[in-house]
Amino acid sequence: MGLIRDEDAIEIRKRLEVMVNPVKLIHFTQELNLEYGVEAKQLVQEVAALSDKLSAETYNFLLDKEKVAEYGVDKVPATVVRDGKDYGIRFYGIPAGYEFATLLDAIISVSRGESGLGEQSKEKLAKVTQPLHLEVFVTPT
């Protein structure tokens, strides 16, 4: 049984129709002792199946050290959203509930190659001269 209900899959497909360029979901997991690991992997695969512009790759966090280092993943489950460029977008844990809409927004933004930021915000960000590490934490409560 899938995690995405048939009626939800129809709506998600409609939402993903605005994708311009292909997007890859790169998922990192491990087989043992990982809460929501199986579900997160299944969700990524189900989402990828909803658009011909989406694909998914899965790597083992413990065994695929080169890929782990390439993407700077430090915990699992983790999902990278990218196209030909890695924008640094990472989802840790299972992107379900409220986070699911954010995952879809990230997929669409990456597909368009556009952040959705206004010109004023882009101008201010262009003045940042040193690397910036930004994390957003979400809790269901």
Give per-residue pLDDT as tens, 106-138. Answer: 999 999 998 888 999 989 989 999 988 888 776
Tokens of 109: 């933004």
- Top pLDDT among 47 and 114 is at 47
> Across all residues in the chain, what is the average pLDDT?
92
Q: Just give the CATH number of 6-126.
A: 3.40.30.10
Sheet holding 54-60, edge to edge: 54-60, 23-29, 78-82, 89-92
Distance (Å, rounded) from C-alpha 125 to C-alpha 114? 14
- pTM equals 0.89
pLDDT digits (tens, 9 = 90+) for 8-26: 999 999 999 999 999 999 9
Whether the CB-CB separation of 138 and 90 falls below 8 Å is answered with no
Strand-strand pairing, 54-60 and 78-82 = unpaired
What phi-psi label fits residue 107: left (phi over 0), alpha (psi between -120 and 50 degrees) or beta? alpha
